Amino acid sequence: MSYLKTYKKPLIVLCLIILLAGFLTWFITKKNNQAYNPAASALGTQENQTPYTDLEGNILSLDSYLGDIIVVNSWASWSPASVTELPMLAKMSDEFSDKNVKILAINRSEPRTTAERFLKSVGVSDKVQLVLDADDRYFKSVEGYAMPETIIYDRGGNIIYHHRGAITEELVRKYIQQAD
């Protein structure tokens, strides 16, 4: 009995310290997990990086689309699937325009003239935000290895679906609806 009286206060203090440490660990882990946003990480531009631009050379801030459902398609003129995917994405952009769905077509480091010539040949309208990525930064950031690649982000910036290779309209529609 005297043993319990002697160590009662230190045991209570030790238990409180363990509880506090557990709570702090949980809180910090939860906060760090909330801070990571895959879309922001992939679409953002750091100070020392070449910015994303549109076809006219205007700098684009792709993180301005965060909070919307974002469909990002990596494309290139040398990819046969881009011939059908870009017009399909333009059509889908029209279909989902009133639902805060943004469709970005990010070119894989081709010269502006090459991208423009290709887009003209496939008849892509301005319904899709066409993006030039001089450093191929986006494709590298998502660890791309197939062409084309399409990633669909929900409103929280989380990846809902990552498709490697040619994608169908049905799949894009399915995952946009799932993200909503």
Domain that holds residue 23: 2-35
* Residue 10 or residue 92, greater confidence: 92
50 and 17 together in one domain: no
76 and 142 together in one domain: yes
For 91-117, write each residue's pLDDT tens digit. Answer: 999 899 888 999 999 999 999 999 999
Question: CA-CA distance, 88 to 40, in Å (whole number)?
Answer: 25
Confidence (pTM): 0.79
Question: What's the number of domains the chain is made of?
Answer: 2
* Residue 162 or residue 1, greater confidence: 162
Percent of the chain past pLDDT 70, that is, above it, reads: 92
For residue 45, is pLDDT > 60?
yes
Residue range 122-132: mean pLDDT, rounded = 87
